[in-house]
Amino acid sequence: MNRGFTTAILHSDREAPIEHHSVLKPMHTAVAFGYPDSRDLVKVFKNEMPGYSYGRQGNPTTAALEAKVTRMEDGIATICFATGMAAIASTFAALLRAGDHVVSSSFLFGNTNSLLGTFGALGCEVSFVDATDAANVARAIRAETRLVFVETIANPRTQVADLERIGALCAAKGIVYFVDNTMTSPWLYRPKRHGASLVINSLTKCIGGHGNALGGAVTDTGLYDWTRFPNIHGSYKGANPANWCMLQIRKKGLRDVGATLAAEPAHRIAQGSETLALRMDRCCANALALARFLAAHPKVTRVFYPGLADHPQHRAATEWFRGAGGLLSFELADGIDCCDFLNRLELVISSSHLGDNRTLAIPIAQTIYWDMGAARRAEMGISESLIRVSVGIEDEADLIGDFRQALG
Ligand SMILES: *Cc1c(COP(=O)(O)O)cnc(C)c1O
């Protein structure tokens, strides 16, 4: 049966019988799995039989979460990791070789930017381009380009990648299209719609939502023909090419790197995911109301939010995304100190996290972008008074009221 998004998440565990008729899927903390017939253990190792071998490669609790994320992204398979960064790093490590080339958006989560620098040092060349226009991506593609990497909405300036045309470009060229969907979440946008091959989600953010567990996931949408990808090892080329990439990521990424998601955080994230759609709708409504309030305020000079009509990618964001997301940023008028302002907020918490139920704010130049220096910040359009807000699910009047009094 083709069920709705939230129904599918809520009832996904029941597709297989749940132990003791539990309504809530129990948590499995076992590291080892024993088999009465040792030949079955051998079959599991040879990928001839489904089953668990050792906790580093997965357990029934992470598998239950993987099934949920696969549903959310309308994919064919998902692998969970200890963090979003672990999912990105392990996937790159599993799929790239020295001499390969990657085209990446230059509007990127800072740690992903740093990670790509590491792969550069290991012999993979990376071209960073302004991905709000697919023409820039097209110009950077070479014979050795193995994948194109973009984020849906960039943080903190909220640039929206040219997702539809980049997807069409990758399909035409036969290149893997890798989309980080963290900022939109699968409720607001499914990258598969525009041809994504692999989708990454930091489960730490909106999907978990409660700021109580780290996690990450990579999902294969089933759209890419892995027989065209030169870096799949012979031992992972089973009868069905649809399984090749995920098997290689599970072995070369999850097993060899070992950044495994433990059962306890997987269980918490799975519970958080049940209300993803409800929370995101509320975050989007709050963020739009706050963006409009700030845009009209005399002490605020600029507001960056794809839901505002003057945002450069407003039309695309409106067409593709169910809502414009829970993240916005703004610049204070000259002479107002960011930290003084943040200290006046009573409800909003000064914190670096995002995608939490609580509204969090942070001055960008002085924290996350401090290391890169003033010159690089100016290049990236990060002003010294830029404040990022991750909008939560508080009552709208309380949220706006807090910003009103702090600006007053
Ligand atoms: C937070 C974030 C990540 C990394 O996720 P962690 O779970 O913190 O490792 C990756 N991409 C984006 C867009 C993020 O916001």
Domain end point (choices 232, 248, 273): 273
**Does 156 contact ligand 1 (Cβ within 6 A)?**
no
Q: For residue 137, what are the β-bridge partners?
A: none
Contact indicator for 365, 379 with CB cutoff of 8 Å? no
Q: In whole angstroms, what is the distance from residue 193 CA to residue 196 CA?
A: 7
Ligand 1 centroid, distance to 214 Cα (angstroms): 10
Atom of ligand 1 at shortest range from CA of 182: 13
Question: Hey, what are 141's tokens?
Answer: 């593609």
Is 282 in the same domain as 350? yes
**Does 70 contact ligand 1 (Cβ within 6 A)?**
no
**Does 202 contact ligand 1 (Cβ within 6 A)?**
yes
The residue whose CA has the least distance to atom 6 of ligand 1 is: 84
* DSSP letters spanning 218-232: EEE-S-S-GGG-TT-
Is 334 in the same domain as 241? no
Amino acid making up residue 374? A
pLDDT in 10s for each residue of the chain, 408 residues: 578 999 999 999 999 889 999 999 999 999 999 999 999 999 999 888 999 999 999 999 999 999 999 999 999 999 999 999 999 999 999 999 999 999 999 998 889 999 999 999 999 999 999 999 999 999 999 999 999 999 999 999 999 999 999 999 999 999 999 999 999 999 999 999 999 999 999 999 999 999 999 999 999 999 999 999 999 999 999 999 999 999 999 999 999 999 999 999 999 999 999 999 999 999 999 999 999 999 999 999 999 999 999 999 999 999 999 999 999 999 999 889 999 999 999 999 999 999 999 999 999 999 988 988 898 888 878 899 999 999 999 999 999 999 999 999
The reported pLDDT for the residue numbered 153 is 98
The reported pLDDT for the residue numbered 219 is 99
Is 250 in the same domain as 224? yes
Is 257 in the same domain as 120? yes
Is 324 in the same domain as 395? yes
The range of the structural domain enclosing residue 403 comes to: 277-407
Q: In whole angstroms, what is the distance from residue 43 CA to residue 60 CA?
A: 18
The reported pLDDT for the residue numbered 124 is 97
Domain end point (choices 273, 291, 309): 273
Is 110 in the same domain as 195? yes
The residue whose CA has the least distance to atom 1 of ligand 1 is: 202
Q: In whole angstroms, what is the distance from residue 258 CA to residue 55 CA?
A: 10
Contact indicator for 175, 147 with CB cutoff of 8 Å? yes
Atom of ligand 1 at shortest range from CA of 203: 7
Q: pTM for this one?
A: 0.97
Is 122 in the same domain as 152? yes
**Does 84 contact ligand 1 (Cβ within 6 A)?**
yes
**Does 179 contact ligand 1 (Cβ within 6 A)?**
no
The reported pLDDT for the residue numbered 378 is 87
Q: In whole angstroms, what is the distance from residue 63 CA to residue 196 CA?
A: 22
Atom of ligand 1 at shortest range from CA of 87: 9
Is 181 in the same domain as 291? no
Ligand 1 centroid, distance to 324 Cα (angstroms): 18
Domain end point (choices 213, 241, 273): 273
For the chain, the domain total comes to 2
**Probe ligand 1: pick from 69, 85, 152, max atoms within 8 Å of CB?**
85
Is 213 in the same domain as 316? no
The CATH number given to whatever domain includes residue 321 is: 3.90.1150.10
Is 237 in the same domain as 266? yes
Is 171 in the same domain as 196? yes
The residue whose CA has the least distance to atom 5 of ligand 1 is: 84
The reported pLDDT for the residue numbered 392 is 98
Ligand 1 centroid, distance to 270 Cα (angstroms): 17
Ligand 1 centroid, distance to 92 Cα (angstroms): 15
Is 319 in the same domain as 209? no
Q: Which residue is associated with the tokens 């692998």?
A: 79
The CATH number given to whatever domain includes residue 191 is: 3.40.640.10
